[in-house]
């Protein structure tokens, strides 16, 4: 199992992969669990929850990031413990942990 130490990054200067540092964020900051960026500066983002259901509360920071990055954010998902993959009405994908492995 690979565990990485969290690092902070700015929206305008996100590295290829980073983990958010503040859990929970302090001072009104937003936090997204994982953000990846490709060579053309397109980003994908994900949140992870141990719940089998995904609520508006779970996606609030992904929606904030979508608003800040606009078309640079190519996709956003929440990885959860549910049984089904689907896309929410707000465009956020929901993917069960079980679908990520063999």
pLDDT in tens, 12-46: 554 444 444 334 455 667 788 888 887 788 889 99
Which comes out higher in pLDDT, residue 2 or 96? 96
27 contact partners, CB below 8 Å, separation of at least 6: none
Closest CA to 77 of 97, 19, 67, 23: 97
**Phi, psi at residue 36, to the nearest 5°?**
-120, 145
Q: What is the pLDDT of residues 75-97, one digit of tens each?
A: 999 999 999 999 999 999 999 99
Say whether domain 14-100 belongs to CATH 1.10.8.
no
Q: Say if residues 78 and 92 touch (Cβ distance below 8 Å).
A: yes
Which two tokens mark 102? Answer: 């063999």
Alpha carbon distance 16, 84 (integer Å): 28
Planar angle of CA 75, 81, 87, nearest 5 degrees: 35
Q: What is the mean pLDDT of residues 51-74?
A: 94
- Burial of residue 11, with CB atoms counted within 10 A of its CB: 0-12 exposed, 13-18 middle, 19 or more buried: middle
């Amino acid at each position: 199992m690979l565990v990485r130490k969290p690092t902070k990054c700015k929206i305008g200067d996100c590295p290829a992969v980073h983990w958010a540092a503040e859990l929970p964020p302090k001072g009104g900051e937003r936090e997204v669990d994982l953000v990846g960026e490709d060579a053309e500066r397109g980003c994908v983002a994900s949140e992870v929850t141990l719940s089998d259901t995904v609520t508006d509360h779970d996606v609030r920071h992904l929606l904030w990031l979508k608003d800040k990055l606009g078309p640079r954010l190519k996709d956003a998902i929440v990885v959860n413990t549910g049984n089904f993959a689907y896309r929410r009405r707000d465009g956020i994908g929901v993917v069960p942990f079980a679908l990520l492995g063999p």
